[in-house]
């Protein structure tokens, strides 16, 4: 199925409407289309290959380059600038790139071809390239590599159709206003950021782009500019609340909160500050949110991620309670690894790897990862439950629970902790108030830091693997 080029369509319908606004500049849809055509011509002079890497920050140039690639029959391979050079090279090799465009500010001395700085592209005198009139919804628009907490990052193949149906589902859930302006303070190379760019095109909505998340400046922006929505993770909302004194601008509607479960204290503080929070659940493979909890239920259904969006079906696997889903936003596979994606499908149902349950009102709760679940003496233990319990202690900055092999019980929970050191006995006594005895960690191991992926997720397999060498 074909659809008209979204950028050209909006340039026709809303030529003078601001498409993207930064601190220093504003571009209308008509201006954006013209600039994208210019960049498309420069890119075409450098490579004939379909896939082009983008190692960019949240700059206007990155935004324009992304559109130039999308609408000139190229596929964006988003690369995370927090990765090591070795990790980047592995992804460049996996996606067979001969061109990877890099923000000058992120240039590294060890970079050689196919890495090319933005400034070199800008120097090209190539003529503008006519953008394609239509796009195939089945065509691959973007590739994003999963963070690889299990050790293997995979390139997720996201089609134009996936992005389109994700945007439609979001609009049906959150509603649309003619004055909507979405603040993008999350990275464009993450689905949370790129989906905002795509919604801007599909809705004809203004995107307010900020280069990086700085709590004070973002808070000021929410107060003084007509932003209506911001996407955030709990850490970002927590930092914003620390700065919060003046009410946000009158047009502000909501915070779309994802990434991890929100603590009760954070939701209470948001309610007190009269900040509307919509919690959501999604993944790279679903091109953003597929389940959401509206703010009216945020406290009554604490811990829930909500109900499936209009275009999403969910159910639980009979024996494991693993969450399965169907959605037109679900991608078609992994780059070079079709067999890995095929293993996750069962009669069209995608196995998320998350264990979940529904309450009597049909609200969904995520209990933990199936591959992180411990089985101790026949009892299923989810690390997330234990971590949430101990995270309430002010002395604990971060805690991760994994299973340690045990000759009697099979495995037992052990906690790795960052923060102020507390007595083992005191921590066990605390746990006895809230947890079944078999869930209380048998040992608390204090660490200075955790091994993490570039997106900030803890590499649990490395912590668990440390026991194998004992």
Query: Tokens 């948001």 identify what position?
Result: 270
Q: Across residues 273-278, what is the average pLDDT?
A: 94
Query: Tokens 């993770």 identify what position?
Result: 233
Tell which wins on pLDDT, 368 or 469. Answer: 368
Tell which wins on pLDDT, 35 or 367. Answer: 35
Q: Across residues 9-24, what is the average pLDDT?
A: 98
Q: Across residues 228-249, what is the average pLDDT?
A: 94
Picking from 378, 426, 365, 376, the residue whose alpha carbon sits closest to that of residue 401 is: 376
Q: How confident is the model at residue 148 (pLDDT cuts 50, 70, 90)?
A: low
Instruction: Check whether 470 has a pLDDT greater than 60.
Output: no
Question: Residue 262 has what pLDDT?
Answer: 80
Q: How confident is the model at residue 149 (pLDDT cuts 50, 70, 90)?
A: low
Instruction: Check whether 466 has a pLDDT greater than 90.
Output: no
Q: How confident is the model at residue 317 (pLDDT cuts 50, 70, 90)?
A: very high
Q: How confident is the model at residue 373 (pLDDT cuts 50, 70, 90)?
A: confident
Question: Residue 404 has what pLDDT?
Answer: 92
Query: Tokens 């782009």 identify what position?
Result: 209
User: What is the distance between the alpha carbons of residues 430 and 158, in angstroms, rounded to a whole number?
Assistant: 45
Q: Across residues 43-60, what is the average pLDDT?
A: 98
- Number of Cβ within a 10 Å radius of residue 440: 20
Query: Are the C-beta atoms of residues 39 and 99 closer than 8 Å to each other?
Result: no
- Among residues of the chain, what percentage have pLDDT more than 90? 80
DSSP-derived secondary structure for 318-387: TTT-EEEEE-TTS---BTT-HHHHHTTEETTEEEEEEEEEE-TT--EEEEEEGGG-EEETTEEE-HHHHH
The pTM of this model reads: 0.89
Picking from 100, 98, 123, the residue whose alpha carbon sits closest to that of residue 48 is: 98
- Among residues of the chain, what percentage have pLDDT more than 70? 98
Domains and CATH numbers, the chain: 2-365 (3.40.50.12780), 373-469 (3.30.300.30)
Arithmetic mean of pLDDT over the chain: 94
Q: Which of 167-176, 233-242, 368-377, 406-415 has the lowest mean pLDDT?
A: 368-377
Instruction: Check whether 29 has a pLDDT greater than 90.
Output: yes
Burial class, 445, CB count within 10 angstroms (exposed 0-12 / middle 13-18 / buried 19+): middle
Query: Are the C-beta atoms of residues 419 and 396 closer than 8 Å to each other?
Result: yes
Query: Are the C-beta atoms of residues 184 and 63 closer than 8 Å to each other?
Result: no
pLDDT digits (tens, 9 = 90+) for 437-455: 999 999 999 999 998 876 6
Instruction: Check whether 150 has a pLDDT greater than 70.
Output: no
User: What is the distance between the alpha carbons of residues 273 and 224, in angstroms, rounded to a whole number?
Assistant: 17
Question: Residue 315 has what pLDDT?
Answer: 98
pLDDT digits (tens, 9 = 90+) for 63-85: 999 999 999 999 999 999 988 89
Q: Which of 24-28, 84-88, 132-136, 206-210 has the lowest mean pLDDT?
A: 84-88
């Amino acid at each position: 199925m074909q659809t008209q080029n979204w950028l050209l369509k909006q340039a026709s319908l809303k030529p003078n409407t601001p498409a993207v606004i930064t601190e220093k500049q504003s571009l209308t849809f008509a201006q954006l289309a013209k600039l994208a055509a210019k960049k498309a011509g420069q890119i075409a002079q450098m490579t004939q290959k379909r896939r082009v890497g983008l190692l960019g920050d949240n700059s206007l140039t990155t935004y324009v380059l992304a559109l130039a690639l999308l609408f000139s029959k190229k596929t964006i391979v988003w690369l995370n600038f927090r990765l090591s050079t070795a990790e980047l090279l592995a992804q460049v090799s996996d996606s067979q790139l001969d061109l990877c465009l890099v923000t000058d500010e992120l240039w590294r001395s060890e970079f050689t071809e196919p890495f090319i700085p933005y400034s070199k592209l800008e120097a090209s005198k190539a003529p503008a390239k006519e953008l394609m009139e239509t796009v195939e919804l089945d065509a691959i628009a973007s590739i994003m590599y999963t963070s690889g907490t299990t050790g293997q990052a995979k390139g997720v193949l996201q089609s134009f159709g996936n992005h389109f149906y994700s945007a439609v589902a979001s609009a049906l859930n959150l509603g649309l206003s003619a004055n909507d302006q979405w603040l993008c303070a999350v990275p464009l190379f993450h689905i949370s950021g790129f989906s905002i760019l795509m919604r801007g095109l599909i809705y004809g909505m203004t995107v307010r782009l900020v280069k990086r998340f700085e709590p004070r400046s973002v808070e000021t922006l929410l107060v003084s500019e007509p932003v209506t929505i911001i996407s955030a993770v709990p850490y970002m909302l927590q930092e914003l609340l620390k700065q919060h004194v003046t009410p946000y601008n009158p047009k502000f509607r909501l915070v779309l909160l994802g990434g991890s479960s929100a603590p009760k204290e954070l939701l209470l503080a948001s309610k007190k500050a009269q900040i509307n929070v919509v919690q959501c659940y999604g993944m790279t493979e679903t091109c953003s949110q597929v389940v959401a909890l509206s703010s009216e239920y945020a406290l009554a259904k604490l811990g829930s991620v909500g109900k499936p969006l209009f275009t999403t079906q969910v159910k639980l696997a009979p024996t494991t309670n693993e969450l399965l889903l169907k959605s037109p936003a679900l991608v078609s596979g992994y780059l070079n690894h079709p067999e890995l994606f095929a293993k996750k499908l069962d009669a069209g149902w995608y196995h998320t790897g998350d264990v979940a349950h529904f309450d009597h009102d049909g609200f969904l709760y995520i209990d933990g990862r199936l591959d992180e679940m411990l089985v101790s003496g026949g009892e299923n233990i989810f690390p997330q439950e234990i971590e949430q319990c101990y995270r309430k202690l002010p002395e604990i900055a971060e805690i991760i629970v994994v299973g340690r092999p045990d000759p009697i019980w099979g495995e037992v929970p052990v906690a790795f902790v960052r923060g102020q050191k507390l007595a083992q006995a005191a921590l066990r006594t605390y746990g006895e108030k809230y947890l079944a005895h078999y869930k209380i960690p048998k040992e608390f191991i204090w660490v200075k830091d955790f091994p993490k992926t570039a997106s900030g997720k803890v590499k649990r397999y490395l912590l668990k693997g440390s026991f194998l060498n004992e």
